[in-house]
Each structure stands twice: as C-alpha cells, then as structure tokens.
Structure 1
Amino acid sequence: MSKIIKAAELKVLISEDSEAVIRPVLEPSEDRAEEAAFDASLREGTILEAKDIIEQAQAKAEDILNAAEAEVEELWERAKKELEELRVQAQSEGYQAGYETGYEEGQKQADAETTRLISFLKQTVETALQDRAAALARLEQDFLKLSLILAEKIVKKAIHEDPAWLRPVIEEAYSRLGAVNECTIRLNPDDYQVIKEEELRLQRTGTELVRFQPDPAVSPGGCIIEADTGTIDAGLEKRLGKLARHLMDVLYHE
C-alpha cells in the first residue's frame, strides 16, 4: 500500500501549508490578481486531486490485498489437496509394488505362527490329559484304599457290637461246600467263644460231622472251612480283597 501512495505523490501532492506552488507559464501582460486567483484555484484543485488519488490508491491496494489473500488461501488449499493425493498415490503404489512380496512373507509368518500355536496347544492338551489321567489314577487308588479301610472298620465295629454277625458268614461259606462227610470250621478264638455249635443253623442235609476249632491265625470276623473236598477261605482279608477287586472292576471297566 505505501508503494502505491508514493507513486501517486510523484504526480502532485501539495498540502495547504506548503510554500511551494506549481505555476503555469503566464504572459507578462497578465496581472497579479489573475495570478493569485489562478494560484489559489490550482492549489485547491491539486489538493483535491491528490486526495482522490490517495483514496483510489488505498481502495485499490485493499482490493489487491484481499485478492492476494484469497489467492494465497486457494493456493494453500490446492497445495494441501495435491499433497494428499500424492501421499495416497505414493502409498498405493508402494503397497501395490510390495503386495505380492509382503503377502507371501506375511503368509509364511502366519503359517509358521499357526504351526507353532497348534504344536503348543497339542502339547498343552497332551500334558493336561496326562496330568488328569495321573490325578485320576491317584484318586482312584486313594478311593479304593479308603473304601477298604471303611469296610474293614464297619465290619469290625459290627462284630464288636454283635458277635452273632459272623453267623451268616459261616452259613454262607458252609452252604458252598459240596457233599462232604465231615468238615472243620476254624474261627478266631474270640469268635469261637461266642459262636456255639448248637446255635449254628447250618442249612445242610444228611449227617455230616462239623467241628469248630479256634485258630489265632484267623482274623476276627472271618472263618476258614476245611473239608475233604477243599477249603473255603471266608476270612476278613479275603472278603476285603474280593471287595477291592470288585471296586477295581467298577472303576476301570465300567
């Protein structure tokens, strides 16, 4: 704006306080009055013209500035748009150029990672199954031992509370004998004192000879029947062993 104003000043710019006056060339015959009038008119017109020029220059400068600002803004927006397009294009070209190589490499990495994960999962599952099987085996063994301990305690408690509890055991074992002429029933000494021959109701036919004999080797609650045809072991340990085998069949075969 200041350059434009100075260009206008090159034509004429005279303030009312200025002592300088531009005078036209006058004929010597013109008088002083006319010169004075002309000088005043010229001064006034020059001042008005100078103000006009200044205002026009200022308006033009304002327009130029506004136009320049608008153009700069437009250029800036266009430049940003072009830069974005170039960036996208470069990215796209780079992606397309490296797509096949990148895809193949990525696929290899994905396959390797998948294989590793599958192997890890298989190993984890196998280890978990082995641990589970081992834990179940230990649990089953513990369950079996506990069952036998409980059974033994129950039997001993029943014998202690009611010694006659042994009678059905003897009768059941005796009933499994075949045809015999005689047999010997061995009992624990404590049980022998309780079980009397006359109290036994052996479901037998004929006149077999049955003898009862105390034997410390027989555990309380059990009996061993001997005959000429064979021996039947109905001892407590034997019966508990049979119970253990039955429990094992249930645990491992059902």
Structure 2
Amino acid sequence: MSDVIRLNIRSKSLKAFVPEAGVDFSQFTAFTQEDALKKEMEKKYQSGFDEGYQKAKDEMENDYSDELLRKTENFYQILASFEQKIIDYEKSFDKIIIDVSTKIAEKIVHKEIENKTVIQNTLKEAVKKILGANEIVIKINPEDYKGISLDGTQKDLEKYFSKIRFEQDGNIDIGGCLIESEVGNVDARISTQLDEITKALENNIIIKE
C-alpha cells in the first residue's frame, strides 16, 4: 500500500506523509526530555550564577563601606591630632611671648632701678593710695632707705601722716616698697609689679582668643 494519500480539494493536490507502521516514537520523547533537562540545568546554573554574583557584589560593597568608614575615621583622628598640635603650638607660642615680654620688662625695670630716683617715684605713687591714713609703716630696701634719708624724701612723707615709721627689709627689691596702714596695704614691690605685667599679658591673650 502506498504511503501517500492524495486529496483533491478545489483542483489542488495535497500530499500527506503517513509514517509507516512500526515507526518508534520513543526517540522523540527522549530528545524532548533531554532538551527540557538541559534547559532546566541552564536555568539553575544561571540562577546560581546570578545569586553568587549578587552575593559577591554585596560582600564587596560591604567590605568597601567598612574600609571607607575605617579610613574616614583614621582621617578625622589624624586631623584632630593636627588641630590639637596647632593648639599646643599656639599655647607654647603665647607662653614664649609672655616670658619674653616679662624678661624685657624686668630688664627695663632693673635698668631704671639704677637711677636713685626710682624709689622716690614709687613712694609718691604708693602713698596716694592710702591718703587719709593716720599711721603707716613703710618697708623698703636698706639701700633705698639710705637714699631717701639723704635726699629729703623721708621728711617730705612725714608731713602727710601723723605717724610714719620706716622699716628696712632686705627681702624687698631696690626700687620697691610695701606699705601697711589702718585703711589698707599697698604692695609696690618690684616683683609684684612684674607679676601684674605678666597677668595683664595673659589676660590680653585670653581676650583675643
């Protein structure tokens, strides 16, 4: 029997091939299952690849973020260290200015002390702060006491107070004095005046800051 079936439809011939009897279709089923399995394996592989890629990407981003955070913290620590060093340098520089200025003031004062009239000016300015007192005690260096005894300064001061007493004290620098009275005391020692200069410099620097 022929395996070709002829159909006459509107004068056109159609040919249909019919497989011969006994043809095995199982091979087609095997190919279909193999293709499906292959596609499923490819799908699983791609899915695993995507998951692995995303996981690796996330880990790299996290590692990068952690490293960036550490570097940022280190940077700010270094910056803070620099700022602290600058502050320390400024403080050291300020101290140097104060020390140098004080030394200059000391040299000027000691240079002026060589002038015998320094104690006279010191006493005149000091007694102005205790005008109204009746009894006063003036402590001065023995060298200055000799000077005011000879130049008449001692007698001039005795005119302003009802009772005045001079005490010679070697602990008081030449050019300075310490006055005690019932209305208050006046510290006109050279060391005290230099301390006041130093404090004035320190306060001036603090105000500027």
Q: Shorter-chain TM-score category?
A: 0.5 to 0.7
Partner of 1:45: none
Q: 2:67 aligns with which of 100, 110, 113?
A: 113
Q: What is the TM-score of this pair, normalised by structure 1?
A: 0.52
Q: 1:133 to 1:111 in 2, by over 3 A?
A: same
Counterpart code for 2:144: D
Deviations 1:35-71 (A, max 9, x none): xxxxxxxxxxxxxxxxxxxxxxxxxxxxxxxxxxxxx
Q: 1:112 to 1:165 in 2, by over 3 A?
A: same
Q: What is the TM-score of this pair, normalised by structure 2?
A: 0.62
Distance 1:210 1:203 in 2: 8
Q: 1:212 to 1:249 in 2, by over 3 A?
A: same
Report whether the alignment pairs 1:242 with 2:196.
yes
Partner of 2:119: 166
Quote the offset at 1:177 in angstroms. 0.7
Which secondary structure state, in structure 2, belongs to the residue aligned with residue 153 of structure 1?
A: helix
Deviations 1:201-236 (A, max 9, x none): 979996544444432121112111122333211111
Which secondary structure state, in structure 1, belongs to the residue aligned with residue 172 of structure 2?
A: coil
Please identify which structure carries the higher helix content. 1
Deviations 1:99-148 (A, max 9, x none): 74565344323312321121011110121122222333333333323222
Report whether the alignment pairs 1:185 with 2:138.
yes
Q: 1:242 to 1:128 in 2, by over 3 A?
A: same
Quote the offset at 1:246 in angstroms. 1.8
Distance 2:107 2:70 in 1: 55
Distance 1:223 1:200 in 2: 13
For residues 200-211 of structure 1, the aligned pairs below 5 Å read 208-211=162-165
Q: Is the 8 A contact 2:119 2:174 kept in 1?
A: no
Counterpart code for 1:183: I
Q: What is the percentage of aligned positions where both structures have the same residue? A: 24
Partner of 1:145: 99
Q: Is the 8 A contact 1:164 1:195 kept in 2?
A: no
Consecutive unaligned residues of structure 1, counting only runs of 5 or more, are 1-92
Which secondary structure state, in structure 2, belongs to the residue aligned with residue 163 of structure 1?
A: coil
Q: 1:226 to 1:155 in 2, by over 3 A?
A: same
For residues 1-254 of structure 1, the aligned pairs below 5 Å read 100-101=54-55, 103-160=57-114, 162-196=115-149, 198-199=152-153, 208-254=162-208
Quote the offset at 1:166 in angstroms. 2.9
Which secondary structure state, in structure 2, belongs to the residue aligned with residue 157 of structure 1?
A: helix
Structure showing greater Rg? 1
Consecutive unaligned residues of structure 2, counting only runs of 5 or more, are 1-45
Which secondary structure state, in structure 1, belongs to the residue aligned with residue 136 of structure 2?
A: strand
Counterpart code for 1:173: A
Quote the offset at 1:200 in angstroms. 7.0
**Number of aligned residue pairs:** 159
Q: Is the 8 A contact 1:224 1:234 kept in 2?
A: yes
| Bigger relative contact order, structure 1 or 2 (CA pairs below 8 A, ≥6 apart) | 2
Distance 2:160 2:98 in 1: 43
Please identify which structure carries the higher strand content. 2
Which secondary structure state, in structure 1, belongs to the residue aligned with residue 175 of structure 2?
A: coil
